[in-house]
Amino acid sequence: MLIELELPVYSYGILVALAFILGLYLYQLSSKYEKEPLPGVVSLLLLLSCSGIVGARIAYILLFPWQFSSLKDCFAIHEGGLVFYGGFLGALLVSWIYCKAKGFSFSAFADNIVPSLALGHAIGRLGCLINSCCYGKQSSFLKIYRIPGDPEGIYRHPTQLYCSLFLLGLFGFLRHLLKSEKIRTSHGFTASIYLIFYSVFRFFIEFLRDDDRGQLNLPFDFSISQIISALLFAAAALWLLRVVLSFSEKE
């Protein structure tokens, strides 16, 4: 079996749009069982689509400025060039501000949106697979994936597929957590679990990546994604500890 996809590049944009639509639909289903009032789907569509895409694109431009010779290039997102953590942090900040301004519980919102985020991200990584970006290092034992332009006989780790499969599993696990009334009422628990699991996975999958990670001279040759993953892990661990202690005090 050999994976060597050369579909039109705009398929990446189609999969990103599909990820948003399915994610919002899933959020709508999940939020019906939440006792706390949550932001509506229409508000989220505007908030997350704008802040997420803008954040992801800005992060990519900052990491790879030499790829952009004109303002038009900056808006060509249908050709790829989105950084997940940029989109995540952009959407996180805007969502937090929105929840605080409107009086919604950000922790309850985060719990209900992270399964959608995991599912949407899994779909988006399939777009990366098709677009031959975010690819892995050469593999001598797993000979199923190649990217256009590689010499004959060169195979790579399909890190995009690894990510997609992991995120699908994480999506199922997060949905399972939210079925528990005890966990659902412990606002922040599910979101912190998502952050811990994903940040650990992302930190280690970066060692298999071989695409351009940006010209940043970081200690131990870490990528910027690994630094962000480590910081998110620490923040999520503290958040989880706070949720657990708070729940223990109520019992």
Q: What is the pLDDT of residue 31?
A: 83
Is the pLDDT at 37 greater than 80? The verdict is yes
Q: What is the pLDDT of residue 217?
A: 65
Question: Mean pLDDT over residues 226-231, rounded?
Answer: 94
Domain ranges of the chain: 11-250
The mean pLDDT of the chain is 85
Question: Mean pLDDT over residues 119-133, rounded?
Answer: 89
Q: What is the pLDDT of residue 188?
A: 94
Tell me, yes or no, if the pTM score tops 0.75. yes
- Where is pLDDT greater, at 246 or 193? 193
Is the pLDDT at 124 greater than 60? The verdict is yes
What would the two tokens of residue 32 be?
């019906």
Question: Mean pLDDT over residues 123-127, rounded?
Answer: 90
